[in-house]
């Protein structure tokens, strides 16, 4: 008799947490992911803004699960799930499961304007972050050799759409990059020339935080030189700029930090989905009528009172551990566990050097102390002792010198932009 | 009156050494490169084999020259040089110079078989190294899920063509990657399944070193499990393997470390070139009839007695410093310096953990001591204090744990391979 098989789709925070919690369980655990690495997404904006290198926030899934004897890792793209025959389909093979955990996360949503993706890239994968880094750094390179003042202004204008944590973190990091690290290495551009525009349709930045913390973040961004525009819905994005309801911003670099859209899990399973595409799960995180199928993390919609749970790493991790515990019970024929409950340990977001906002229960923190807490927390949760050392050193170095070590332009994408590049004024 | 302009094409070891030696000179120094970073090429094979991350061996040229007030950096691709009108052409502008240093390096040579480049990539840029890393890591991923034993064997066979320092270093690193770091993270492949084939047309490995050191390197490679095949010329490369004069090796991964071809500097300047495309320069490193044009490093052919100087970093650096000194004399109207002389400080090549070969004058070293000397030298010459710390830590970590931290598969290239990937045996 072979051991029952648990298939986990996705090795993000949710899927990996489930896989690890199944260590030693009497089952074969197969983790499928389309990339070979687990990504520490909360720090992805640092890769996009040249503060950290990809290796510092990513670890090979095989290394993480290597020591776990009952785990197998498969690099591949899932194309469908058949919950009746209990089969997961990949490009050219399929895989039968006894228990399934769908932890496929979310992608960007352009609210029906998929054409905007070309000019306003979002930030979900390492490749996204490297693309963003290339765009930002190339904009400065082009501005340095651009004789036309109007075009130079467009090149030095960075528009970030969406003022949630990712948008705020990106805006703060780009403002610092422009005003400190880059200004001293260029000859033709002065630091005052760079403009960072943070556009938000809602009435305040960081809408998921309490109002006073939003106000603090707003003030801090303004002090960094970020132009915060609230209550402005985007009606158009193209290669020359962004159109808001009542105005136009000319810009060559537009970054998308607004909507998310869940993975195709709902389509695969033909389950009920919410507006963001998330599968509406039972209080035990299972698919309606399929106790053997769990949907967790950003792919799932569950309301434990107080609205649907947010798309945060702690939610996904706790749900992964819960699904693993439920499967362990199923493996030995025990009763299912009580319904899933989320233990909210707090939220954090950073705005720049020495500035962050933190809520822990009723406690609310801003300023340097919040920033230290943010730094310590993020380093602590980074997977792998080695990465922790490297990131700590890198941050200490960047803090002391205002340098950005990861300012490399690489990748095929740079070649397509290259031909337009150098406009030198003849001597 | 504006300051005279020195244009330097290429920010490799030669160009950068020249630019730095011109600090404080009464001239405007313009450094043009098609990438935004200086690359420490001797360690590029470590990026290709997932030992180091790109940021650890590359620094933005702007950061390096940022503090040098008379230097300007231009990101751009040079399309031609007109030595009569003293003009360098870029994609859409041109730039007039008073003094020119061409330090454009070399590319791979496939000896007229340019089609081989697709299946047997070489190693010159960061993008090359990331492509190689992707190919190597994906081969293991595919082998893990491949049910057909013959195809699995092809996937686990790595052919390196050319047994100079780069080929030897690649072969040693891949053998270690296969036998140590990767073997423990996979379930279906055993370490004994991986085959590394080092193919060389000449009679020994490391032909530029003394024969006893070649013999030592050969023995060490064999002990690491590398199959060294000498006196074998390649007559064909395709997606299924390599054809040698008298046999065929079935392999999915072929890496090219054989020939180099100099940059188009000779074509630009219509100068005499040697068989490898290098510009034949005067004893003062200038173009015949153009005292204001210097050609240095891998782009230049100069014989100071004992054959043409090899394509090594110390040669390029010394020539860069020489060209800068000659231009400084020209700027003040002084006589040209005496002819260029190369001070040979020795050569080093590593084969794997604790094994290297070193020649310094008459001294010849092998084994652990040579390896320590190799490590210390390479870390010392890495540009930037920060990189030195990071690389030292990374090596110490990799040495202690046999882990490879940079095992990430990223980039657009991975997507094109993906669809063929996962062949899982159904349960």
Whole-prediction pTM value?
0.85
Token output for B296: 């240095």
Judge contact between A131 and A120, C-beta under 8 A: no
Distance CA(B202)–CA(B199), nearest Å, equals: 9
pLDDT band at B405; cut points 50, 70, 90: low
Residues of chain A contacting residue B65, judged by C-beta atoms under 8 Å apart: 185
A384, pLDDT greater than 90: no
Distance CA(B214)–CA(B209), nearest Å, equals: 6
Looking at the complex, report in whole angstroms how far the Cα of residue B49 sits from the nearest Cα belonging to chain A.
14
pLDDT tens digits, residue range A71-87?
999 999 999 999 999 99
* The listed CATH number (3.30.465.10, 3.50.50.100, 3.90.1300.10, 3.40.50.150) that belongs to domain B109-259+346-420: 3.50.50.100
Name the residue with higher pLDDT: B193 or B252. Answer: B252
Judge contact between A99 and A9, C-beta under 8 A: no
Lowest mean pLDDT among A362-366, B3-7, B286-290: A362-366
Listing DSSP states for A56-99 in one string gives HHEEEHHHHHTT-TTEEEEE--EEEEETTTTEEEESS-EEE-SE
Name the residue with higher pLDDT: A377 or B426. Answer: A377
Nearest to B408 among A37, A76, A137 (CB): A37
> Distance of CA B359 to CAs A105, A187, A302, B209, B346, Å?
55, 44, 67, 8, 5
pLDDT score at B14: 97
pLDDT score at A403: 61
A427, pLDDT greater than 60: no
Residues of chain A contacting residue B405, judged by C-beta atoms under 8 Å apart: 55, 386-387
pLDDT score at A423: 33
Other Cβ atoms less than 10 A from the Cβ of A390: the count is: 25
Closest residue of chain A to B79, computed from CA coordinates: A419
Chain-wide mean pLDDT for chain B? 88
B71, pLDDT greater than 70: yes
Q: Which residues contact A121 (CB under 8 A, 6 or more apart)?
A: A128, A131, A132, A135, A255, A256
Residues of chain B contacting residue A382, judged by C-beta atoms under 8 Å apart: none
- Residues of B numbered 112-141 whose beta carbons fall under 8 angstroms of chain A's beta carbons: which are they? 126-127, 130, 137-138, 141
Looking at the complex, report in whole angstroms how far the Cα of residue B121 sits from the nearest Cα belonging to chain A.
15
Judge contact between A146 and A67, C-beta under 8 A: no
Residues of chain A contacting residue B74, judged by C-beta atoms under 8 Å apart: 144-145, 422, 424
**Residue A370 φ then ψ, to 5°:** -60, -35
A17, pLDDT greater than 90: yes
pLDDT score at B400: 66
B371, pLDDT greater than 60: yes
Q: Is B172 exposed, middle or buried (0-12, 13-18, 19+ CB in 10 A)?
A: buried
B4–A contact, CB cutoff 8 A: no
Closest residue of chain A to B47, computed from CA coordinates: A55
Q: Comparing C-alpha atoms, which of A281, A278, A316 is closest to residue A297?
A: A316
Name the residue with higher pLDDT: A126 or B392. Answer: A126
pLDDT band at A250; cut points 50, 70, 90: very high
Token output for A279: 């599968």
The active-site residue, picked from B144, B169, B176, B200, is: B169
Listing DSSP states for B257-289 in one string gives -SEEEE-THHHHHT--B-TTS-EE--TTSEETT
Nearest to B141 among A75, A91, A426 (CB): A75
pLDDT score at B417: 31
A154, pLDDT greater than 60: yes
Whether B5-34+76-105+263-331 shares its CATH topology with B109-259+346-420 is answered yes
pLDDT score at B299: 94
B135, pLDDT greater than 70: yes
Closest residue of chain B to A34, computed from CA coordinates: B418
Instruction: Give the residue numbers of A annotated as catalytic, written as ranges.
Output: 169
Residues of chain B contacting residue A129, judged by C-beta atoms under 8 Å apart: none
- Angle, to 10 degrees, between the axis of helix B385-401 and the axis of helix A385-401? 170
Region A170-174: mean pLDDT is 95
- Residues of A numbered 257-316 whose beta carbons fall under 8 angstroms of chain B's beta carbons: which are they? none
Cβ pair A424:B187 closer than 8 A: no
Chain-wide mean pLDDT for chain A? 88
Distance CA(A291)–CA(A276), nearest Å, equals: 24
pLDDT band at B303; cut points 50, 70, 90: confident
Cβ pair B96:A426 closer than 8 A: yes
pLDDT tens digits, residue range A387-419?
676 677 766 766 666 666 677 777 644 433 332
Q: Where are the domains of chain A?
A: 5-34+76-105+263-331, 109-259+346-417
pLDDT score at A12: 95
Region A226-237: mean pLDDT is 95
Looking at the complex, report in whole angstroms how far the Cα of residue A14 sits from the nearest Cα belonging to chain B.
20
Cβ pair B76:A137 closer than 8 A: no
Looking at the predicted complex, does its ipTM rise above 0.85? no
CATH 3.50.50.60 fits A5-34+76-105+263-331, yes or no: yes
Cβ pair B409:A91 closer than 8 A: no
pLDDT score at A356: 92
Region B351-356: mean pLDDT is 86
A67, pLDDT greater than 90: no
Residues of chain B contacting residue A394, judged by C-beta atoms under 8 Å apart: 390
- Residues of B numbered 327-386 whose beta carbons fall under 8 angstroms of chain A's beta carbons: which are they? 386
A143–B contact, CB cutoff 8 A: no
Residues of chain B contacting residue A34, judged by C-beta atoms under 8 Å apart: 418
pLDDT score at A192: 81
Region A7-19: mean pLDDT is 97
Q: A109-259+346-417 has which fold?
A: FAD/NAD(P)-binding domain (3.50.50)
pLDDT score at B217: 96
pLDDT band at A95; cut points 50, 70, 90: very high
Q: Is B117 exposed, middle or buried (0-12, 13-18, 19+ CB in 10 A)?
A: middle
* Residue entry with tokens 């209550």: A231
Hey, which residues does B160 pair with through a beta bridge? B198, B255
Cβ pair B36:A426 closer than 8 A: no
Name the residue with higher pLDDT: B205 or B379. Answer: B205
A72–B contact, CB cutoff 8 A: yes
Residues of chain B contacting residue A141, judged by C-beta atoms under 8 Å apart: 36, 75
pLDDT score at A416: 31
pLDDT band at A130; cut points 50, 70, 90: very high
Percent of chain B with pLDDT over 70: 90
Listing DSSP states for A283-309 in one string gives TTSEETTEEEEEE-GGGEE-BSSSSBP
Nearest to B36 among A62, A141, A386 (CB): A141
B415, pLDDT greater than 60: no
Q: Which residues contact B203 (CB under 8 A, 6 or more apart)?
A: B230, B231
Query: Which of the given ranges, A191-195, B99-103, B136-140, B375-379, has the highest pLDDT on average?
Result: B99-103
pLDDT tens digits, residue range A29-63?
999 999 999 999 999 999 999 888 888 888 889 98
Residues of chain B contacting residue A72, judged by C-beta atoms under 8 Å apart: 187
Looking at the complex, report in whole angstroms how far the Cα of residue B28 sits from the nearest Cα belonging to chain A.
11
Nearest to A185 among B58, B66, B406 (CB): B66
Name the residue with higher pLDDT: A217 or B402. Answer: A217
Looking at the complex, report in whole angstroms how far the Cα of residue B178 sits from the nearest Cα belonging to chain A.
14
- CA-based diameter of chain B, in Å? 82
Q: Comparing C-alpha atoms, which of B139, B211, B205 is closest to residue B166?
A: B205
pLDDT tens digits, residue range A267-300?
999 999 998 889 999 999 999 999 999 999 999 9
Closest residue of chain B to A426, computed from CA coordinates: B95
A6–B contact, CB cutoff 8 A: no
Element spanning A39, H or E:
strand A37-39
């Amino acid at each position: 008799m072979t051991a029952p098989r648990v298939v986990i789709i996705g090795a993000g925070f949710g899927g990996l947490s489930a896989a690890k919690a199944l260590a030693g369980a009497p089952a074969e655990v197969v983790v499928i992911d389309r990339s070979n690495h687990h990504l520490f997404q909360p720090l992805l904006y640092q890769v996009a803004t040249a503060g950290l290198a990809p290796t510092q926030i990513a670890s090979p899934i095989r290394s993480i699960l290597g020591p776990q004897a009952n785990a197998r890792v498969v690099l591949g793209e899932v194309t469908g799930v058949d919950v009746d025959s209990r089969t997961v389909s990949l490009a050219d093979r399929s895989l039968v499961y006894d228990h399934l955990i769908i932890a496929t996360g979310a992608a960007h949503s352009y609210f029906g304007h998929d054409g905007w993706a070309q000019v306003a890239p979002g930030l979900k994968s390492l490749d996204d972050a490297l693309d963003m880094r290339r765009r930002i750094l190339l904009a400065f390179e082009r501005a340095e050799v651009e004789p036309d003042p109007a075009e130079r202004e467009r090149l030095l204008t960075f528009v970030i759409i969406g003022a949630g944590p990712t948008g705020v973190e990106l805006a703060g990091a780009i403002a610092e990059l422009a005003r400190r690290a880059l200004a001293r290495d260029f000859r033709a551009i002065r630091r005052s020339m760079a403009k960072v525009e943070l556009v938000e349709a809602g009435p305040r930045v960081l809408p998921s935080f309490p109002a006073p913390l939003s106000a603090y973040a707003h003030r801090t961004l303004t002090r960094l030189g970020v132009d915060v525009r609230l209550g402005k819905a985007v009606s158009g994005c193209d290669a020359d700029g962004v159109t808001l309801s009542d105005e136009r911003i000319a810009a060559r670099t537009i970054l998308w930090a607004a909507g998310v859209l869940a993975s195709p899990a709902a389509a695969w399973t033909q389950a009920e989905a919410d507006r963001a595409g998330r599968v509406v799960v039972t209080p035990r995180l299972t698919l309606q009528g399929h106790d053997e199928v769990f949907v967790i993390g950003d792919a799932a919609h569950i309301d434990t009172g107080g609205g649907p749970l947010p798309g945060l790493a702690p939610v996904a991790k706790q749900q992964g551990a819960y699904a693993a515990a439920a499967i362990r019970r199923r493996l030995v024929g025990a009763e299912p566990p009580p319904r899933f409950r989320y233990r909210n340990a707090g939220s954090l977001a950073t705005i720049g050097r020495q500035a962050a906002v933190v809520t822990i229960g009723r406690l609310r923190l801003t300023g340097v102390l919040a920033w230290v807490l943010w730094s310590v927390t993020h380093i602590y949760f980074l997977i792998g002792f080695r990465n922790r050392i490297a990131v700590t050193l890198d941050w200490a170095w960047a803090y002391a010198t205002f340098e950005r070590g990861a300012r490399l332009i690489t990748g095929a994408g740079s070649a397509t932009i290259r031909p337009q590049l150098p406009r030198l004024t003849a001597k």
